[in-house]
Amino acid sequence: MPSYGSRPFKEAISYFNQKLPLPTTGWQDVYGQQHDHAFMVAGANRMAIVEGFATAVQAAIERGETLADFRKRFDEIVSTQGWDYNGTRGWRSRLIYETNVRQAYNAGREAQMDDPEFRERFPYTEYRHSGAENFRPKHKAWDRLVLAADDPFWREHSPSNGHFCKCKKFPRSRRWLERTGRKVETAPADEYREFVDKRTGEVRQIPLGIDPGFEHRPGQSWLEHQTLKPTDWKDAIAKKTIDTIPYGPVSKPPLPRETPVSSRVLMDDGLPDERYVSAFLDEFNSTGPRTFKDVTGEPMMISDRLFKTTDGDYKALKDGVRHRYVRLLARTIQQPDEVWALLEPDSSTAGKYRVKRRYIKRWVLDEDGVEVHGFSAFEYGQGVWSGSTAFTPNRRRGKGRIPNRPLYMEDQREGVLLYRRADIEDGGV
């Protein structure tokens, strides 16, 4: 790994290893400081693809595997997973490799320079241009700029500052300033351009010379989270004050129309737990464990273990009316209206996230002459179901309506939208 440092080092390894693979449909699904917690490859919407690339990048960071080594892994992933990527093989493989390895190196160096004792010895930092023949004019203009290490300039301008950018930032001491005759300068005036986030419609202000998504100090939020106490972390999650909690506002298309279902799919109250579990498995034509592939091609294991605790006891199915809708919950997995992927803060461990997939479906049925509108969601992550819910957010009797809970349903629609069922008006069936 000679172009990024003399050898792999623990801070860069630690930075990359705490990331979680996240399926996406485009590069803007994960933006800016969110990259400090999520590993993504634009357009890789299946976990197997993302995990394959995470393993390949990890080998480069930990063992110094070269771009040629990475391309062998790239070819294997594409072949086995059938990934239809954009761009040429050479350009795309280099983009994934260099961006991730270089940013891990940069984040590791930032962690070293952030140490209080180190900062005391080296209170200044210098921007150094890579010397590339085809250079970005702004990057060249920042060459040899010396600022205080805590100057606000570095929050947006710390390298890398774009795809294939090889600029670096070096720590400098007071003795270095005296020896070289250099002086601490004033940061150049801020200059920005507008960039429209296609996900949200939000107009972002991007510093001139920096590619969208690179306007942050590599590893900044990772370092901040490392310094939080567990109580501070929980408070920050509750108050939603940490700007990297995924994913901010996301432009949400309208949900597909509700799916009509017969009230005959509902289960009676008072049945043994085994009956409800069997009804769920019957929807998959399953009498034993089986692998089911969802609408995005993501595999999952379907068995009665989904409904059991680690001790082998059945979980509480009879929570409210959830047990009555167990068949609809199964159909939510099979024929969802939407599938979302999201990173969720793990409240038990500061700075850690976990990946979940959320399957959402709306339905409407006639129950005892009353039109009932329902919503089902299944969440799946790390091989187990992390949660499920089914409820009736509103009922209509004639022209009247009982107040509903639309905000709860909208809150479930977060993260990266991997799939949306097409309505007839969308050109679907």
What pLDDT sits at residue 333? 92
Spatial separation of the C-alpha atoms in residues 28 and 42, rounded to whole Å = 8
Longest dimension (CA), the chain: 88
What pLDDT sits at residue 405? 52
* pLDDT tens across the length of the chain (429 residues): 334 444 668 899 989 988 888 888 888 888 888 888 889 999 998 888 999 999 999 999 988 999 999 999 999 999 999 999 999 999 999 999 999 999 999 999 999 999 999 999 999 999 999 988 889 999 999 999 999 999 999 999 999 999 999 999 999 999 999 999 999 999 999 899 999 877 667 788 999 999 999 999 999 877 765 543 334 434 443 443 333 333 333 457 888 999 999 888 888 888 888 898 899 999 998 767 788 888 988 888 888 877 777 777 776 565 566 788 889 989 999 999 999 887 766 666 555 566 788 999 998 887 777 888 888 888 877 655 655 666 664 444 333 343 345 666 777 887 778 889 987 555 433
Residue by residue, DSSP assigns 38-64 as EE--TT--SHHHHHHHHHHHHHHHHH-
What pLDDT sits at residue 184? 97
Surface-to-core class of residue 151, CB atoms within 10 Å of its CB (0-12 exposed, 13-18 middle, 19+ buried): middle
User: In degrees to the nearest 10, what's the CA dihedral of 416, 417, 419, 425?
Assistant: -170
What pLDDT sits at residue 200? 66
Domain borders along the chain are 10-239, 259-426
What pLDDT sits at residue 3? 45
